[in-house]
Structure 1
C-alpha cells in the first residue's frame, strides 16, 4: 500500500469518532483541523457513506448527513466503539511487533516497545506474560542503524563505511537513501550510490559507520523508475565466474552467497555459478568449506584452492616448536 493510501485510510478510520465528538461542525472547520481541502473532505465523506459492516444493508452502512455546510454522523456502524482484540489476535499482533522491533532500521524500537506495552496492558496480564517470556529482549538501537533510519526518514544523504563481502573490500562512499528493504530476514538500505552511479542494497550489519549529511538525498528519477536496478543481486558479466559443486549437506551455502544457474543433481548435490571480484578472497572462501564445496572451474581457481589446502595440511603436519 502506498504512503498516500495509508494516510487516507488512517484519516477515514478517525473521521467517524471525530465527527461524533464534534456534532454540527462545518466542513471548512473540519477540513482545517484534519489538514485537508474541503474538496478532499467531501470525497472522504462520500467514501465513508458506502462503508460499514459486512452485509452492507441500510442498517449496516455508515450514515452521514453532509449535504449542507455541517457534518453529522447519524449511524456509526459500530466504528465509534474501541476495537477489542481477542487473546489470539493480541498474541499474533505482539509477536509481529516484536519481530518488527528486532529487524534493524525498520522502525524506532522505542516506539515499538511502547506499542507492545500498551497492547499487553489492554489485552491482559496472561497474554502479555506468554509473549514476553517467549520473546528475547530487544537490544538498544546501534548508532549506525539510528543514523541510517534518520537519513531515510529525513530524506538526507549518507556517508557510510561499508564492507562488500563479494569484493572483500571496505569502502567509504556517499549514498542517497531511497528506503529500507527486508530480504531473507536481513535489513538492507536501498540507496543510489554516487560512487557506483547506480542503485545498490547495503546490508545493515555490514555498514561499519554512517553519518547523516546536511544535504538532501537526490536519487535520479530514472533510477527509481527502473525496478531491475533494485534487485538484491545482479549478475555482473564483467566479473569472473566460478562453477561450483556443493554437497547436499552444504546446501545452506546458497542462502549466504549469491548464486546463479543452480542445478540439483540426482544424488542431491548442487551445481551453481558464483561471480567474484577477488581471486584470493574466493580461494580462501572455497578452502574454508573443505569437502563441502568443490570448484569445477576455472582451472586457476581450482589450483589456488588446492594449493591453499595443501599448505594448510603441511602446516598441521609440522611439529610444534616450543
Structure 2
C-alpha cells in the first residue's frame, strides 16, 4: 500500500469506531461504504483490522469488538475510541475553502448537503472562516467531464467521448449509452453500453480526453446489465482466458486486489502463491507482471511468459546490460 493509501486508511480507521458508536442500532455496510467513499469489501477489511486493535493487555475486555448481523454492523465494545476526530483551525479553514470551491463546480450533485456542511464547519471555526481570502479557482478537467456525464444521465442522452486505453497506449473514439456513475476507491467511473465494443464497459473519467452530450437518447439494449461494484471494479467474464501466475511473497497482494481462482501455496519462490487470473486483455496481464518487477512468473499461457521475458531482456539492453540467455 502506498504512503498516501496508508494515511487514508489510518484516518478512516480512527473515524470508523466513533462513527459506528454513534449508531448503536448498527449501520448497513453499504451505507458505511458510501459515507466513507470506499467499497463494502474495504469496510469489511477495515473492521477486521479494528477487531485486533485496542488497549494494552489485548484480552477479550481490551480489544475493539464488532458484531455483524446480516448486512449490518455495530460496535459492541469501543475500547475507549469514542471521541470523533477534531479539526484543527488550519484544517477547518482549509475545509471551508474546499467546500466553497466545490459549490462553484458545474453539475454538482447534493449541493444542499455541501451547503449544510459548509455552514457547520464555518460556525465551528468562528472568526477564522470570515478571514478566508477569496480565491480564483479553475475547474479541473475531470470535474468538467463529471458534470457533462451527469447531465447526460439526467437527460438520458448518449455520449460521444475520446478515451485513452493505457494497455494499448492509444486514444479511441466511442459513442456510448450511459447507465450509471460509480465512485470506487476515490475514482469516478462511467458504466455504459459501448456501441463500438457491443458490450457494457467501465470508463475512468480521468482517462476521458473529451466528451459531448449527443442529441439522440441513450438506448442500452436489454442485455446491458449493471455490475455490483462491491467486489471491486475489475470483474472478468467467466469464459475469459486464464493466466496462471506464481507470486513471490512481496507480490501476494495481487490475490487480495484482483479476483483470482485456484489459490494455493508454492515451494518456489519460498512463501509464494500460485493464482489464476482471468482476463480477455493479455496486454493488461503483461503490464501487471512487468510492474511486479520479477516478483511474478507466468506459467500459463506460454506465449505470455515468452513475451514478458522478451520485453524484460530488451529493457535490460536499453540500460546497457546484457541479459542472461533464455532459460537461465
RMSD across aligned C-alpha pairs, in angstroms?
4.5
Deviation at 1:261, TM superposition (A): 0.8
Structure 1 pair 197–141 and aligned structure 2 pair: CA distance change class (3 A): same
Q: Tell me the SS of whatever aligns to 1:191.
A: strand
Deviation at 1:174, TM superposition (A): 0.9
Q: Distance in 2 between matches of 1:261 and 1:106?
A: 41
Structure 1 pair 184–147 and aligned structure 2 pair: CA distance change class (3 A): same
The runs of 5 or more residues in structure 1 that have no matched partner are 1-86, 133-137
Bigger relative contact order, structure 1 or 2, given CA contacts below 8 A and separation 6+? Answer: 2
1:146 matched to 2:144? The reply is: no
Q: Distance in 1 between matches of 2:208 and 2:294?
A: 32
Structure 1 pair 316–223 and aligned structure 2 pair: CA distance change class (3 A): closer
Aligned length: 219
The residue that corresponds to 1:272 in the other structure is 275
The runs of 5 or more residues in structure 2 that have no matched partner are 1-82, 323-328
1:311 matched to 2:293? The reply is: no
The residue that corresponds to 2:206 in the other structure is 205
Q: Tell me the alpha carbon deviations over residues 61-98 of structure 1, each in whole angstroms, 9 at most, x when there is no partner.
A: xxxxxxxxxxxxxxxxxxxxxxxxxx96997xx99x97
The residue that corresponds to 1:287 in the other structure is 290
Q: Distance in 2 between matches of 1:252 and 1:126?
A: 47
Q: Tell me the alpha carbon deviations over residues 237-259 of structure 1, each in whole angstroms, 9 at most, x when there is no partner.
A: 66543211222323444577x54
Structure 1 pair 112–301 and aligned structure 2 pair: CA distance change class (3 A): same
The residue that corresponds to 1:263 in the other structure is 263
- Structure with greater helix percent: 1
Q: Distance in 1 between matches of 2:125 and 2:234?
A: 45
The residue that corresponds to 1:160 in the other structure is 161
Structure 1 pair 229–187 and aligned structure 2 pair: CA distance change class (3 A): closer
Q: Distance in 2 between matches of 1:282 and 1:115?
A: 45
Q: Tell me the alpha carbon deviations over residues 197-218 of structure 1, each in whole angstroms, 9 at most, x when there is no partner.
A: 3322222222222111122222
Q: Distance in 2 between matches of 1:144 and 1:176?
A: 15
Residues 182, 190 of structure 2: 8 Å contact kept: yes
Q: Tell me the SS of whatever aligns to 1:219.
A: coil
Structure 1 pair 159–114 and aligned structure 2 pair: CA distance change class (3 A): same
Structure of greater Rg: 1
Q: Distance in 2 between matches of 1:198 and 1:105?
A: 30
